[in-house]
Amino acid sequence: MVEKRLETIRSEILEKIRPTPEENERISSIISEITDILKKWNDTHEQYPYAFISPQGSTGIKQSHLREDSDIDLFIFLDPEDYRDIINASQKNRTKISELFRKYCDDWVIPALIEKNFNEFYIAYAEHPYVSSTLHGYDIDIVFSFILSEEHLQKRGPITAVDRTFYHSKFIQENLSLEQIDDVRILKMFFKNNYSYGDKAPIARGGFIGYAAELWIHHFGDIWSYFRNFKTLPYVAIDFFNRSSENLREIPRFQNDFLLLIDPTDENRNVGSSISERGWIYCLKQIDKFLNTPDARILTQKLLPSFDLSQEEINQHFVVVESIQISDSHYTKIRDKLYSIAESMRTQASREFDQSIRFPDVNYSIYFNPNNKRFSLAFYTSQFQITQKYLRQGPKEDRTRNFEKFQAKHPDLIIKDGYGYVTEKRKFTNFLEMIRAEFKERMFKEIELVNISLPRATKYEESLMAIHVLKECILPFQEELEQILGNIIPKKSSRKR
């Protein structure tokens, strides 16, 4: 009975998210059109050496994209033998490859698009520059990559971060059935609806990614088996090279990874390394809810804010920092800097010099919109106002030399539970004041600060979502997550997210 219900749910969802034949034809036509533009321009102009041009990602040969939610990744693959001097030089100076890719963007891709009257394009930056454009409502990234042998990847690794992509696509095309590809679609939709998918996931710096979803479906067979085993993911490694979780965690590069999902194209790469534990535990709660009471709405509907920013309870615990990107850096670079700042501020707001509690239960989330370049940080504390003075712990009374020095410096110290304590005065007693001062000290040139305030005075609608994700998707599960982290990665800082 349950299995029949699950299959009914699966069919209902796929009717809504599987791309239509017409949409697939449009995507295929766009890929062919841009490929022809790039080939013909290069043939009649500079004739830069390249191996081939091919669509990658979900709209490439994998075909795991969602209806009306597809980007096109068009790769121009270069033969490394044509660029051996640059590659060898780049072992010490990686800028040579970036300079090459920027030259090809400026002197090949962009002129070819301009010649065909494209007017929406720009150069974006990840590890290396690439061209982003739009056509018929589709976002298109035109990326340069080296086509390496599988042996090279296994023994020496990639030259650039995207050099594995061709073999990722090939593995999925050769190993997943059409039914499993449909399960991947459902899984992607589920992660998206739960704020946990991709590099724009607001629940954490790293969300679930499409390639990981594909590998999990390949490993578990179908989405329902994956859901039933979801709670085991942090404890059991999935390794195509047959190493155990214990063996993998002895390898330094894997020791602090929450999930272990080893890339079948590279035994030294963990596909799960960037996926946050925050996303895992929130999705676990939704999966448990679904398995207890199967209902398509749990998988397909996004939880939206049920509060407004004028509510007193919200303004007693949250602070919002709003900024806008003013550089042409890729949004992930801004995101990463803001996460580093937020984590640093969380640490500073949480603890005094002696590691005693300052503001309790501090946490944060970041919600951003690459289209309008707005970034909103939401900070939380369970106690917004703290006392002006506190007792700072010093050395143990029985540690004579250290204690005597401390006592000489602080003759009015207090002895408590075998330790010396001294009364200190805090610089900040108000959470908003501390966040405002500390963020301004950490500002960087790629953003412009717009506002730091209580929720009732925010300027961006993104701030409502930042508070919502923090309030509903992160805070309720933080204590449980800390315990799980302690069991899986004892050495990992409980503050690292």
Long-range contacts, stretch 456-460, CB < 8 angstroms, 24+ apart: 456/309, 456/310, 456/314, 456/315, 458/309, 458/320, 458/322, 458/376, 459/322, 460/322, 460/374, 460/376
How would you class 142 by CB atoms within 10 Å of its CB: exposed for 0-12, middle for 13-18, buried for 19 or more? Answer: buried
Start-to-end CA distance of the chain, whole Å, equals: 40
Task: Report how far apart, in Å, the C-alpha atoms of 253 and of each of 100, 205, 257, 317 are.
Answer: 30, 19, 8, 38
Spatial neighbors of 208 by CB under 8 A, at least 6 apart, are: 191, 196, 197, 198, 201, 275, 279, 283
Task: Report how far apart, in Å, the C-alpha atoms of 162 and of each of 128, 151, 169 are.
Answer: 10, 16, 12
Q: With contact defined as beta carbons under 8 Å apart, do 49 and 79 qualify?
A: yes
Q: Which residues of the chain have pLDDT under 50?
A: 493-497
Instruction: Please provide residue 27's backbone torsions phi and psi, each rounded to the nearest 5 degrees.
Output: -60, -45
Residue the block writes with tokens 């000290």: 441
- Pairing of β 71-78 and β 138-146: parallel
Q: Report d(CA 178, CA 175) in Å as an integer.
A: 10
Q: How is 332-343 classified by DSSP, letter by letter?
A: HHHHHHHHHHHH
Spatial neighbors of 77 by CB under 8 A, at least 6 apart, are: 50, 51, 52, 53, 54, 145, 146, 147, 166
**Type of residue found at 342:** A
| Token pair for 153 | 């990847």
Q: ∠ CA(241), CA(245), CA(251), 5° rounding?
A: 80
pLDDT for the residue numbered 463: 97
Helix (H) / strand (E) element for 288: namely helix 277-292
**Type of residue found at 87:** I
Strand order in the sheet with 414-416: 389-396, 419-425, 414-416
**Type of residue found at 320:** V
Q: Report d(CA 3, CA 305) in Å as an integer.
A: 33
Q: How is 97-111 classified by DSSP, letter by letter?
A: HHHHHHHHIIIIIHH
Residue 206 DSSP code: S
Q: How is 392-430 classified by DSSP, letter by letter?
A: EEEEETT-HHHHHHHHHH-TT-EEETTEEEEEEE-S--B
Q: ∠ CA(314), CA(331), CA(348), 5° rounding?
A: 50
Q: Report d(CA 225, CA 208) in Å as an integer.
A: 18
pLDDT for the residue numbered 392: 85
Helix (H) / strand (E) element for 321: namely strand 318-325
Q: Report d(CA 391, CA 414) in Å as an integer.
A: 9
- Closest by CA to 38, choosing from 28, 27, 47, is 47
Q: With contact defined as beta carbons under 8 Å apart, do 136 and 118 qualify?
A: no
Q: With contact defined as beta carbons under 8 Å apart, do 451 and 459 qualify?
A: yes
Spatial neighbors of 373 by CB under 8 A, at least 6 apart, are: 324, 325, 326, 331
Q: With contact defined as beta carbons under 8 Å apart, do 325 and 375 qualify?
A: yes
The whole-angstrom distance between residue 30's C-alpha and the CA centroid of its chain comes to: 28
Q: With contact defined as beta carbons under 8 Å apart, do 308 and 261 qualify?
A: no
Which domains, ranges and CATH numbers included, belong to the chain? 2-300 (3.30.460.10), 312-388+426-488 (3.30.70)
